[in-house]
Amino acid sequence: MTTLMAIGGAMDKESPVVMREFIRRAGGAAARIVILPQASAQADTGEYYIARFKELGAGEAVALEFRQRGAMDTPEQIDQIRDATGIFLTGGAQMRIAALYGGTKLEAELLAAYRRGCLVGGTSAGAAILSKTMIAYGKGGPTPRERIAQFSPGLGFTDKFIFDQHFRQRDRLGRLIYAVAAYPGALGVGLDENTAAIVEDDVALTVCGAGGVTLVDGRQIGYTDVAEVENRGPVAVSNLKIHVLTHGSRYQNGEVFIPEKISLNE
């Protein structure tokens, strides 16, 4: 089984439901988690997550600390990825990850680890980078507009989903609709803060956390003028389907299951 865990950022330290779920799926006390802190501009990001994962019960946690391509692809780094049961990409700026990892041996090893069943997850920028095409930059607002989002290649763990983070908090519905209108083959996944979308086998999605996950499904779009609008004008889209899912809810092949009652502590 392959598993991606895309997290919307700002995970709650007092009620760490999302991080505990990451650790559980990575193996719990037997987990070997590799942290990739390169998206962050803070020098101590790796150390912070090492301490946090161990505090919450992970067996092992290490951070790969480098900021230049010339410091990458060492045998030690590759061995760490090959031994990992969980790989975690931190928040920051997703373009830092794309510009650093693109075309490297480490990028190939990350994809190989994912395909062999290693849990791969990321928060904020680390969530955006998980897809083949990512939202690199953009503006907030409820209405899709020409150039409201700019796209760039991501790490390519999936081409079925495109992730946007801090979703409700930063009013990003318009740019996710724009992304889906531009390519209706991908399901748009808007991640609220302290909330994760867990994608299994590139098909099934389950929600974990305190907020919501907004799914923008464009497979049945009847009409859109996304290719014709200029000068940042509004984009028309018809027959778009939107779901808002919360903790324990599940989506698969267009079908939604919402449990009648489920606790964050279950």
> What residues act catalytically?
124, 166, 193
Q: Is 211 helix (H, G, I), strand (E, B) or coil?
A: coil
Q: 227-242 in b/e burial notation, b at 16+ Cβ within 10 A? A: eebeeeeebebeebee
Strand partners, 35: 63, 88
d(CA 221, CA 219): 6
Structure tokens at 192: 């609220």
CB atoms near residue 115 (< 10 Å): 10
Name which of 158, 121, 164 is nearest 144 in CA terms: 164
Structure tokens at 157: 């763990």
Tell me which DSSP letter residue 36 carries.
Answer: E
The dihedral over CA atoms of 69, 90, 125, 210, expressed in degrees to the nearest 10, equals 170
**Residue at 211: amino acid letter:** G
Tell me which DSSP letter residue 23 carries.
Answer: H
Q: What is the DSSP string of 89-134?
A: E-SS-HHHHHHHHTTSHHHHHHHHHHHTT-EEEEETHHHHTTBSEE
d(CA 25, CA 164): 22
Structure tokens at 105: 């041996």
